[in-house]
Amino acid sequence: MSLLKHLFLAVVLNGLLPATLTAAPADPVAAGPLVSSQISYEFAIYYTGEPAKPPLKVLTERLADMKAALRWVDQPPRPLKEAVLMARLDKDVQVDYRPPSLESLKYFGRGLSREQAVALRGARTALILRFVHPQQQAIAAYRNSLLLTAQVAQDTNGLLWDEETREIFAIDSWQKSRLEGWEGDIADVTKHTVIHAYRGEKLVRAITLGMTKFGLPDVVVNDFSWSHNSSMGSLINLLSQSLLEGTRVEAHGRCSVDLHAIRHSARRQSLEQSLLTRSTGVAKLDLTQGTREAGDPDNRLVEIQFDQYPGPDRYARQSALLQSLFGGDDSITYAQHTKRLVAASEAARAKLPDLYKAFSRGLVPGEYLLVKAPFTVPTGGQEWMWVEVATWKGDAITGLLKNDPFNIPTLHGGQMVKVSQAQVFDYIRRFANGQEEGNTTGKILQEQEAKH
């Protein structure tokens, strides 16, 4: 995937992710760096059969090769001044440390063959590794833990589990994702974290998993639309990478991030590829204490707020931030309501009852629906704009305005608005795989525009 290897992994598995939005944002994040004084995280190595070599013996040998970079202990010493490891061999993982299901492996399996995935269901043994180290050793100790886990898995023929991101890897995929892609001591944060996104009652919530491995909080964005998933994913990546590279929070939770200032060149270039015209590449954020929900990582949470941008509600301010950061253009087309255009609109409107049924049943994660509806211009006439549907009850449709109007100063792109099904002119149904249907009138309008 382009912006994040798991960009907006939109899943709801086994009750892992809830179906409600979070409460109102909490207090601002305290000023200063966000790195914890002590960092702790867990990996494991699952065995689908008998390990090729005794895992604890191999672990001892590999630790000796690292020449005291990591010390095996029963409990972390206090005060913690060095990187330590706690390890145990669990021979009853079906009870104590159950491996992921086949269903979850569709989303969280990295490089596993079908045979490995099926065999994993019957795994009985796992080597569980908990790493703990002080802030001063955050990067060096993390890289050592990645390398050690890979070496032991290679020697014993195991599959590698990241408890923090809830992913399982074949050895080659671990090597490519976790051990490659570093630029000096700077990691590409997207190779070490994932983003879960899911629809709540109306809109979407997204949260990172895995930032705790860097001693940093995971990042939350609440209450946005599926059509913003790519841009919001890029924003989360930008903040996460900036925090990893040392960005501090200022007074009142304010934090400015500059896409062009990212030091990891590959990550910076990937983000720059998402820029459109009139982009600033800068986001002025307000960070608050995140509110925990079931299924969230066991880590501190920071939530992105959008209060430094204009707009009558949070949705308009979200759009204003994303527009400023990544750019974009709106244009206006003056339509001639020809017989052909009217016929296309009537054909689209005839499909609305079926669309209503599909929406009421529940669209799949990542799928969304847009309708084009009229808005009254103060000086007379109407401006037709797209609305992303959030709720649809009978004739009443509530959703997010996807355009910035040209002639209606009281409306802004991203604002929550209400329209009538009876006035809908056309629709777009965008499926989770990126395919679209609808917007037949748009093609006619483009032809009209081209003739003028």
Convert the pLDDT of each residue in 182-203 to its tens digit: 999 999 999 999 999 998 777 8
- Distance between CA atoms of residues 191 and 175, nearest Å: 11
Tell me the sheet residues that pair with 159: 46
**Structural domain ending residue among the three candidates 302, 326, 350:** 326
Does 8 map to a domain? no
CA-CA-CA-CA torsion sign (275, 385, 342, 427):
positive
State both tokens at 244: 């990893």
Does 29 map to a domain? no
* CATH of residue 414: 2.30.30
One domain for residues 264 and 239: yes
Q: What pLDDT score was predicted for residue 379?
A: 87
Asked if residue 2 has pLDDT above 50, the reply is no
Does 52 map to a domain? yes
One domain for residues 173 and 42: yes
Q: What pLDDT score was predicted for residue 403?
A: 83
According to DSSP, the β-strands at 282-289 and 301-305 are: antiparallel
Q: What pLDDT score was predicted for residue 451?
A: 67
Does 424 map to a domain? yes
What is the pLDDT of the chain when averaged over all its residues?
90
One domain for residues 197 and 159: no
Spatial contact of 59 and 127, defined as CB atoms under 8 Å apart: yes
One domain for residues 50 and 167: yes
One domain for residues 157 and 53: yes
Task: Return the H-helix or E-strand segment holding 444.
Answer: helix 440-451
Higher pLDDT among residues 126 and 433, named by residue: 126
Q: What pLDDT score was predicted for residue 12?
A: 35
Q: What pLDDT score was predicted for residue 11?
A: 39
- Distance between CA atoms of residues 120 and 98, nearest Å: 10
Nearest to 42 by CA among 148, 158, 149, 164: 164
Convert the pLDDT of each residue in 148-191 to its tens digit: 999 999 999 999 999 999 999 999 999 999 999 999 999 999 99
According to DSSP, the β-strands at 368-376 and 426-430 are: antiparallel
Average pLDDT, stretch 367-386? 91
Convert the pLDDT of each residue in 103-129 to its tens digit: 899 889 999 999 999 999 999 999 999
Convert the pLDDT of each residue in 212-251 to its tens digit: 999 999 999 999 988 888 899 999 999 999 999 999 999 9
Q: What pLDDT score was predicted for residue 21?
A: 39
Convert the pLDDT of each residue in 21-74 to its tens digit: 344 547 999 999 999 999 999 999 999 999 999 999 999 999 999 988 999 999
One domain for residues 140 and 204: no
One domain for residues 389 and 422: yes
Average pLDDT, stretch 430-443? 91
Q: What pLDDT score was predicted for residue 9?
A: 43
**Structural domain ending residue among the three candidates 271, 291, 326:** 326
Q: How many domains does the chain have?
A: 3
- Distance between CA atoms of residues 132 and 130, nearest Å: 7
One domain for residues 173 and 215: no
Higher pLDDT among residues 7 and 286, named by residue: 286
Provide the domain limits for residue 317.
189-326
Percent of the chain clearing pLDDT 70 (strictly above):
91
Q: What pLDDT score was predicted for residue 72?
A: 96
- Distance between CA atoms of residues 291 and 323, nearest Å: 26
Does 291 map to a domain? yes
One domain for residues 344 and 318: no
One domain for residues 276 and 351: no
Spatial contact of 271 and 233, defined as CB atoms under 8 Å apart: no
Q: At what angle do helices 339-349 and 440-451 cross, to 10 degrees?
A: 160
Confidence of residue 407 (pLDDT cuts 50, 70, 90): confident
Q: What pLDDT score was predicted for residue 10?
A: 40
Q: What pLDDT score was predicted for residue 32?
A: 93
Q: What pLDDT score was predicted for residue 191?
A: 97
**Structural domain ending residue among the three candidates 260, 291, 326:** 326
Q: What pLDDT score was predicted for residue 339?
A: 87
Spatial contact of 214 and 142, defined as CB atoms under 8 Å apart: yes
Does 62 map to a domain? yes
Does 28 map to a domain? no
Higher pLDDT among residues 213 and 313, named by residue: 213
Higher pLDDT among residues 2 and 297, named by residue: 297
Convert the pLDDT of each residue in 260-269 to its tens digit: 999 999 999 9
CA distances from 127 to 147, 156, 236 (A): 15, 10, 33
Does 123 map to a domain? yes
One domain for residues 387 and 306: no
Asked if residue 292 has pLDDT above 70, the reply is yes
Q: What pLDDT score was predicted for residue 413?
A: 84
One domain for residues 258 and 309: yes
